[in-house]
Homo-oligomer: A and B are copies of this chain.
């Protein structure tokens, strides 16, 4: 953990290093992924089966390619009732938030008599990558699948590796609840390739979203343009801005909730009180030691944790927060509004002392798929818009064409495009 104070002479240098530290995997996966994509494109299901046997120790040609909807439904009904109710609460709240996000069509006629507009529609098919093993979170399935369904996607396909045949019943239950149409037992770059190109068995999709390891992320990046994808995701991060009136245990828990995700996650605290900073530091140590996820959380906090002490929270924290452009920003103060008003770059903001980031991970409603690695400067959390596209339209009658057509002719001539000019002139 690094301890910084804006009063120190080397603050800017150290802070800049934190901002520029990308915490990305260094693995050179591009070449491996490229050859996997080419193989699946050329050989289809045969390549998919072979790679699944090799990487997952699972033979889909023997043990089945798909998990049936009946299996998902059974997993849902077998859930502990408290957990099932929690999953239903989450799904209902996520659905409500994303339904309110649906964009409106436009259709109007302007003063020149030109009818203009834009019509939104869903993509036909979306593919959702669901990791296997410990990173298989039912909450992630809901956060990806529900916006797709709310957008109106016809066909929602999940691919998920089932190493040695193992499946996660919680994920299957979430798939039932979210209305997933197909689940294929394949993973890695080969699954992403199958979704993008299609195979004899798996029909291609238009958009691919969902978290995955470095190979999955690189496969999505390489297939961007063949299909739509959600933003390239890096390690998770939280920035907590807190004054000294917060309970140090509350803030420690928030910092650790991010740290326990992955050793490369990052938790940062900005506060205006040195004594409070030290109390939080101690609380993190105590609480962390008692966590079943101690090892991961400890590694993350030791390697990437940061505490920054400033003189004046309102005067200094927003500029630092905007440079960090963090995925999650908590404002643990009595009145978060002045801080919130000046924070320009953040994936999601959690206002006030009673809004731990974890409520956003599960049940608040907004999406928990958010831009990481400073990408909040230019990108947004997952939304229904990622599963939709907009078609603009234009309609002119003779009078409208007489009104605006001559300007088009002048510009087409100036650009040296005579057929453009002619297509207007012949109608005038």
Contacts and interface: CB of A to CB of B under 8 A. Distances in A.
Interface of A: 82-83, 85-87, 89-90, 93, 96-97, 100-101, 106, 108, 110, 112, 114-116, 118, 121, 123-124, 134, 137-139, 170, 206-207, 221, 224-225, 227-228, 231-232, 247, 249-250, 253-254, 256-257, 259-261, 287, 291-293, 297, 336, 340, 343-367, 370-371, 375-381, 383, 385, 389-398, 400-401, 404-408, 410-412, 414-424, 426-427
Contact of A224 (B112, B206, B221): B221
A291 B138 contact: no
Task: Pick from A254, A348, A359, A401 the residue with the most CB of B within 10 Å.
Answer: A359
21 contacts: A83-B411, A85-B407, A114-B365, A206-B377, A224-B232, A256-B423, A257-B417, A257-B422, A292-B416, A348-B393, A352-B395, A356-B427, A359-B405, A359-B424, A361-B412, A363-B404, A363-B408, A366-B392, A366-B394, A367-B392, A370-B392
Contacts of A397: 352, 354
A249 to B, nearest CB: 5
Nearest to A356: B423
Interface of A: prevailing SS: mixed
Nearest to A222: B221
Contacts of A138: 411, 414-415
Contacts of A353: 427
Nearest to A410: B86
Nearest to A24: B225
A391 B347 contact: yes
B257 A355 contact: no
A255 to B, nearest CB: 9
B93 A404 contact: yes
Contact of A422 (B90, B256, B370, B426): B256
